[in-house]
Structure 1
Amino acid sequence: MEERLLTLVVLPYSKAQILKARLEENEIECYLEDINLMEGAATSVKVKIMEKDVREAFPVLEKLLGKKPIAAKKKVEKKDDHILVPVDFSTASAKSCKMAFNIASHLGTKLVFMHCYINPIVHSVPYGDVYMYDSTLLARMDEAEKNANEDFQKFTTKLVNDIGKEKWDAVETDFIIKSGYADEDILAYAEDNNSRLIVMGTGDETANVIGSITADIIYNAKVPVLVVPEKMPEKELSEFNRVLYATNFDEKDFLVIEKLVGLLKPFEAKVFCVHVGKTKQSDWDTAKLEGMKEVLNENYQSKDFDCRLISGDDILEALDSFIEKENIDIISLTTHKRNMISRLFNPSVARKMVFHTQTPLLIFHA
């Protein structure tokens, strides 16, 4: 039977060269094929291997792009400064890409767009022998890869037209298209390559309950995650100037706020540090908030902080009311321990998050 070449992954040229060298070190034949995902962009490369080498090639690819860790890994050294943007071609994804582009242009960072598609060979019979002789699976794999590349090309072409070619060319971009599980691959790449930020979209098809892939990334990412709702009104990044940081007076608050200030550095944004207490306010909560205010004003003298204690037995209703009253543009939370995020995304209360359908969420892992 004649051997066929299969596309393992689409990578930026530099990463494709590294992968080719590593595959050949493992005695795996590898061929590179240039493709143009969009006019004027840096060349992307299809990395192709023989079908018989699929099982041996995937571990090499995972080692390069990252593999979701089972145990905690040591902190990796800082690599190229970039924002990671998962792409699924949805309306929400397009909106998140535009927001990520605006952030990258202000921060002077690179954008890495990543799309993961289901590989019928790997996901139907992983690492088995039968796939080599199943022409139906091979045809489905070719079709899946072809569709992924065509959809990506259409998506990015429209994105560039919406943003404007001159603006687009001012930001460095990379494109990665691979088969796999989106949540695992996004988390692995972000951790192994020390992404500065993950920006991703989410729709509201399930009555305001956040999508499973987005939720998994929020809970497990070691880097900040910005979730952009599909129904968020489109506006310039300079208009996002009122940020809410919801605090439970956690010991990690100041570490998170330091990261938040770093992302907000190019913007004149006012930060509201808000704690929701019971209707009958605690003197201890008031004292902690005053202490927090003093530390922030001392550490960030040029930043505008407004510390508030608001009352309400229902945290969601209290926050929703505050967000509407103060015209909050971005909500920021931390995933540390059983903090506020676990209360907000509990399935039993998620439907009440009216603000979630229109206000971006910036999530930190502390």
Structure 2
Amino acid sequence: MKKILFPTDFSDVANNAFIYALEFANIVKGELILLHTFELPIIESPYTPDNYYTLYDSMQLGQFDAFKNQIPKLREFARQRQLENIKLSHKLVEGDLIYSIQRAIKEENIDFVVMGTAGATGWEAFFIGSNTGAVVSAVNVPVLSVPIEAEFSKIQTIGITTRFRDKDKKALRQVLKIAKKANANVKCLYVKTSKSDVTEETINQWKLQFESESVDFLIIYSDLVKETIFEFISDKNIDILAMITHKRNFFSELFHPSLTQKFSNTSTVPILAMHEEE
């Protein structure tokens, strides 16, 4: 059974992403592990107040009570979507968010992370200095980021971008497995620029290798890579976009507000960030 880590602060952003986490768990036949982290203040003064440890224990208890009160709300979300069969477990951890996620991934053998994003476009916060962006850089499992504007609907088409490198094949195979379980189609996009060194022979080899799979390869000739990806999302009705994180600065440029404002209908599409094979 696949294990999906869902870090949450119980905000509207996180609760919206929880719907995707539930549905994704249902698709891959997985379970959800909810992670909530908190940090208590550190008093560096040598003169520790007499009541410091009492206050510390009280704050820990307050965090536990707040956490405990939120769990029934999430279970109600699951019940409303008739997904109460999804196994849910919970971790309340004191400490840094990134470190706690890394530790949970190792201890629980996590396969995927699902997180919510917020910001001017959702994507902007994901790729420019947000917690989610930091998580993508810090972990070695795929991360599904869900913009606050996203509303879940049946996943029918998953898009993935490629540069037709051998190391991209693992990501495509993983997307195909997810798509098969979701009964969805996969559309694989390559934007062939005037500087491209990918040969027609390589493209044909890929098509031959994956000819038995439910995947369409789209080769679009353009030097406007970012704009082409947005048009691809819109024109092909992409429900989730998978991208390989081989060039983070390109992501930042791709989802910059100045560009996403031109394609506002695409900024609500969740992104599955997949790690480049070494």
- 1:309 maps to 2:220: yes
Partners in 1 of 2:39 and 2:203 — Cα distance? 47
Percent pairwise identity: 19
Partners in 2 of 1:334 and 1:142 — Cα distance? 41
Q: CA RMSD in A?
A: 2.9
Partners in 2 of 1:310 and 1:132 — Cα distance? 70
- 1:116 maps to 2:37: yes
- 1:97 maps to 2:18: yes
Partners in 1 of 2:254 and 2:29 — Cα distance? 38
Q: How many residues align?
A: 268
Equivalences for residues 45-194 of structure 1 within 5 A: 81-120=2-41, 124-125=42-43, 130=48, 133-134=51-52, 135-150=54-69, 152-164=70-82, 167-168=83-84, 170-194=85-109
- 1:218 maps to 2:129: no
Partners in 1 of 2:74 and 2:49 — Cα distance? 33
Q: Secondary structure at the match of 2:243?
A: strand
Q: Which amino acid aligns with 1:311?
A: S
8 Å contact 2:179–2:185 — kept in the other structure? no
8 Å contact 1:230–1:357 — kept in the other structure? no
Query: In 2 relative to 1, CA 283–210 (structure 1 residues): closer, same or farther, beyond 3 Å?
Result: closer
- Structure 1, residues 174-204: CA drift from partner, whole Å, max 9, x if none? 1111222222211221134321111111122
Q: Secondary structure at the match of 1:130?
A: coil
Higher RCO (CA-CA < 8 Å; seq separation 6+)? 2
Partners in 2 of 1:186 and 1:129 — Cα distance? 34
- Structure 1, residues 268-290: CA drift from partner, whole Å, max 9, x if none? 32222212233xx45743x25x5
8 Å contact 1:334–1:365 — kept in the other structure? yes
Query: In 2 relative to 1, CA 116–356 (structure 1 residues): closer, same or farther, beyond 3 Å?
Result: farther
8 Å contact 1:95–1:230 — kept in the other structure? yes
Instruction: From the CA coordinates, give the structure whose radius of gyration is larger.
Output: 1
2:209 to 276, 289, 298: 298
The match for 1:233 is: 151
Query: In 2 relative to 1, CA 218–144 (structure 1 residues): closer, same or farther, beyond 3 Å?
Result: same
The match for 1:244 is: 159
The match for 1:253 is: 168
8 Å contact 1:244–1:274 — kept in the other structure? yes
Q: Secondary structure at the match of 1:265?
A: helix
8 Å contact 2:38–2:93 — kept in the other structure? yes
Partners in 1 of 2:113 and 2:176 — Cα distance? 17
- 1:269 maps to 2:184: yes
Q: State the TM-score, normalizing by the size of structure 2.
A: 0.83
8 Å contact 1:228–1:359 — kept in the other structure? yes
Partners in 1 of 2:269 and 2:178 — Cα distance? 17
Q: Secondary structure at the match of 1:146?
A: helix
